Amino acid sequence: MTESSETRRSADLLLGPLGYGAANVGNLYRAMTDDDAWAVLDAAWESGLRYFDTAPHYGLGLSERRLGAFLATKPRAEFVLSTKVGRLLRPSPGTADQLDDAHHFAVSAGLRRVWDFTAAGVRRSLEESLSRLGLDTVDILYLHDPEEDDLGPAIANGVPGLVALRDEGLVTAIGVGSKSTAALLAGVRTGGLDLVMIAGRYTLLEQPASDKLIPACRAASVGVVAAAVFNSGLLSSSHPGAGARYEYGDVPAHVLQRAQRIEGICAEYGVALPVAALQFPLEEPAVQAVVVGAGEPGQVRENVARISAAVPHELWERLRAEGLVKT
């Protein structure tokens, strides 16, 4: 595989600048009806978004089912769809009367997640996702959170499994999606990836991915999708406070102070903090898209407006000068 072919695979998909991350329609944090989920997805489509990302993990398959039903009403050539592999969903009748609280999804825990990063497991996961989606193809397939199992074997077995699916023409592009920069870097170093999805590690608040991962992606012509750019909600408010969510929990005092310092500088330039948070990753040439979720149609439309709002270049220079973002 040549460098030019790697670049073409991801670039031709036309992901960005903004995509919709469909965890919310899998009942992340709170339950929504099918009609509510449809309204959110419809707002994304009517606002011009054409890249949609999901995973079996999101609501134990609920996100894939809802997203697939919606996209089945749209011309297949007009959207890009990604899902993920690594977690197979298997019956768990003993916990069916419980909610999936441990993973923050308001759904019945009648299924359980089973780690499987083998080539056979990767293929099986894609087949099962396509069944839930009700679609014939996905465009991008990510290895999902390989560090949560056993990173070495997960990469050693999972990436060749992805490559085989791409070589067979079953998917267009492959990657790794994770909040672990070590896992993402291990994937890039295999030489087989087209993309990485960096969750929460290349944001306005913190950029550990800039140390080794982003340079490695540039060198290998691996595209970057930046996800969780609000750091689980902390940067989604123009005035972050102590009640904000960070890393799916309460925000530590020192993290809140950093966010508030960034917000103060953004305000000096007339830029709302969420606007800067959405646009910051796109300052990096390797970043092809930013993917964010939304639980209400209004939030989708707000994010679309934010991604195109004017941000003076001087803001980024000031934040770098203050040591708040890395160059």
Q: Would you please indicate which residues are annotated as catalytic (active-site) residues?
A: 58
What crossing angle do the helices spanning 151-167 and 181-188 adopt, rounded to 10°? Answer: 50
Token representation of residue 35: 């009609």
Residue/partner pairs of 320-324 with CB below 8 Å, 24 or more apart = 322/261, 322/265, 324/258, 324/261, 324/262, 324/265
Closest CA to 120 of 160, 148, 91: 160
Half-sphere exposure of 251 (CA within 13 A, CB side): 22
Query: How many C-beta atoms lie closer than 10 Å to residue 142's C-beta?
Result: 28
Detail the DSSP E strand segments found in 243-318. 245-246, 249-250, 287-292
Helix (H, G, I), strand (E, B) or coil at 81: strand
What crossing angle do the helices spanning 253-268 and 313-321 adopt, rounded to 10°? Answer: 140
| CA gap 25, 5 in Å, rounded | 34
